[in-house]
Amino acid sequence: GQNIDQPTEMTATEGAIVQINCTYQTSGFNGLFWYQQHAGEAPTFLSYNVLDGLEEKGRFSSFLSRSKGYSYLLLKELQMKDSASYLCAVRLNTGNQFYFGTGTSLTVIP
Amino acid sequence: DTAVSQTPKYLVTQMGNDKSIKCEQNLGHDTMYWYKQDSKKFLKIMFSYNNKELIINETVPNRFSPKSPDKAHLNLHINSLELGDSAVYFCASSQGAAATYEQYFGPGTRLTVT
C-alpha cells in the first residue's frame, strides 16, 4: 500500500516562514505534488517535484529527496490568506494514480 | 470558462436512494478522476478514467459506478445510499500520464445522506 504522512496542524505568524513536511512510502514513485485547499473549496495545484532538489515559485518552494522519501513545502512572507490545508500527493508510474496525504491545516495568526 | 464543473453542488437524500453526480471538463484532458473527502478532510481516490477506460478502481463498494459517455465527462452513480456515503465528492482531470501533469479539481459535491 501507499503511506503518506504530514503533520495534522501548524500555526505560524504573518510575515514569517513555515515549512510543511511530507514523508512517503510508495511503490513506483513518479512525482510529488503540493496542493492548497481553502475551507469549503476545491484543492488547487501549487507545485511539483520529480527530481531531487528545490523548486521555487514566488513565495512557495518545494523540496524533494527521493532517497529519503521526503518533501517539504516552504511558504515565505506568510499572509493571512495562506491559512488553508496543504495536501501532499504522490503520483505513481502505473495507471496515472495519485495518492494524497491527510493534509496539514495551517493557521496564520497576526 | 469553468475548467472542471460538477452538478449538483449540494445533494441531500435519504438512505436507500440512488443518485448521480455529473462532471464535465473542457480542458481536453485525457484522464478524469473521482475523489471522496471525508469529514477529516482526507482525500481518497475512488476512480480514474483514461480515454474512457477505467484504470483505477480503489476498494470502493460496487454500489458506486463511474460512467464516462465521452472523454469530457465522468459521472458517478451511487446505488442504495448509506449514511457513511456522506462526504464531499470531487471530480478532477489531468492531461495525461507524464509526471508533470497536475490535476484540476471541480468545485465538489457535498452529499448528505439522512
Give per-residue pLDDT as tens, B36-77. 998 888 888 898 888 767 877 768 888 999 998 888 999 999
Q: Is the pLDDT of residue A37 over 80?
A: yes
Residue bearing cell 449538483: B8
Residue A88, beta-bridge partner list:
A34
What pLDDT, on a 0 to 100 scale, did the predictor assign at position B114? 96
Residues of B in contact with A37 (CB under 8 A): 41
Residue bearing cell 484543492: A43
pLDDT band at A67 (very low <50, low <70, confident <90, very high): very high
Task: Out of B99, B102, B104, name the one closest to residue A30 (CB).
Answer: B99
Q: Is the pLDDT of residue B97 over 70?
A: no
What pLDDT, on a 0 to 100 scale, did the predictor assign at position B30? 86
Contacts of A56 (CB under 8 A, 6+ apart): none
Residue bearing cell 445533494: B11
Q: Do B42 and A102 touch (CB under 8 A)?
A: yes
What pLDDT, on a 0 to 100 scale, did the predictor assign at position A41? 93
Q: Is the pLDDT of residue B99 over 60?
A: no
pLDDT band at A95 (very low <50, low <70, confident <90, very high): low
DSSP string, chain A: --EEE--SEEEEETTS-EEEEEEEE-SSEEEEEEEEE-TTS--EEEEEESSSEEEEETTEEEEEETTTTEEEEEE-S--GGG-EEEEEEEEESSTT-EEE---EEEEEE-
What pLDDT, on a 0 to 100 scale, did the predictor assign at position B48? 86
More confident residue, A14 or A1: A14
Chain B residue with minimum CA distance to A34: B102
Chain B residue with minimum CA distance to A2: B44
More confident residue, A2 or B103: B103
Q: How far is A76 from chain B (nearest CA, A)?
A: 23
Residues of A in contact with B44 (CB under 8 A): 100
Polymer length of chain A: 110
pLDDT band at B102 (very low <50, low <70, confident <90, very high): confident
More confident residue, A90 or A2: A90
Q: Is the pLDDT of residue A43 over 60?
A: yes
Encode pLDDT of A46-66 as tens digits: 999 999 999 998 999 999 999
Does the CB of B63 have a partner CB in chain A at under 8 Å?
no
Q: Is the pLDDT of residue B109 over 90?
A: yes
